[in-house]
Amino acid sequence: MEQYVYQSLNEARAALDALLDDGETLRTLAAAGRQLSNTFRHGGRVFSCGNGGSMCDAMHFAEELSGRYRLHRKGLPAASISDPSHLSCVGNDYGYDRVFARYLEAHGREGDCLLAISTSGTSTNVLAAADYASRHGIHIIALTGRPGSTLSELSDTEICTPAGQYADRVQELHIKVIHILIELVERELFPENY
């Protein structure tokens, strides 16, 4: 069993090392942090969405912004599209492909920002949200794990973290990216905390 533990940690380290060596993605990550900060600075809201583990990441991203990340500071207007009553209502009435786009239709406004998370970059409901956002002046930051995806084409900013054969390694990098994004926002808007 120990050999599998070592193998798993070694794969995770290799994925992180590859991200560290990817200067273009690191610059894009910094640009996404600036975009999020500017959205908040100009009175916009930030929404996040994804499926399965990516929904959990979307929820974690939003709660760290609206609640607290490291130190006390003002809450920021961020929400994940994850309310069960909304998801089941829209899923039942319009189909699961519309659950995220319909929420943006109800709550999103021009100047807001969407963090669209999909390890494959092909989740149809995330694509529908990105399509809605692109047509209504909502900036799209895509967090993906496969280069050249459909979500990449719809996004204004894509942070792509390819990491091995399966989604779990991609998701491990996604949570690191999410924490970095939150830290960048805090450093920009609440420099006294750093």
Q: Known binding site for substrate: residues?
A: 51-53, 64, 92-93, 118-120, 123, 171
Q: Which two tokens stand for residue 163?
A: 């990491």
CA angle 172, 15, 20 (to 5 degrees): 105
Query: Does residue 78 contact residue 62 with C-beta atoms inside 8 Å?
Result: yes
Rounded distance between C-alpha atoms, residue 130 and residue 47, angstroms:
11
Q: Which residues are annotated as a binding site for Zn(2+)?
A: 60, 64, 171, 179
Distance from C-alpha of 36 to C-alpha of 176, rounded to nearest angstrom: 16
User: Which residues have C-beta within 8 Å of that of residue 141, sequence separation ≥ 6?
Assistant: 32, 35, 36, 113, 114, 115, 116, 155, 156, 157, 158, 159
* Residue set of the binding site: 51-53, 60, 64, 92-93, 118-120, 123, 171, 179
Residue given tokens 């991203």 in the structure block: 61
At 86, give phi and psi (nearest 5°).
-65, -45
Q: Are 191 and 183 in contact (CB under 8 A)?
A: no
Question: Taking Cα atoms as reference points, which of 157, 167, 156, 160 lies closest to residue 54?
Answer: 167
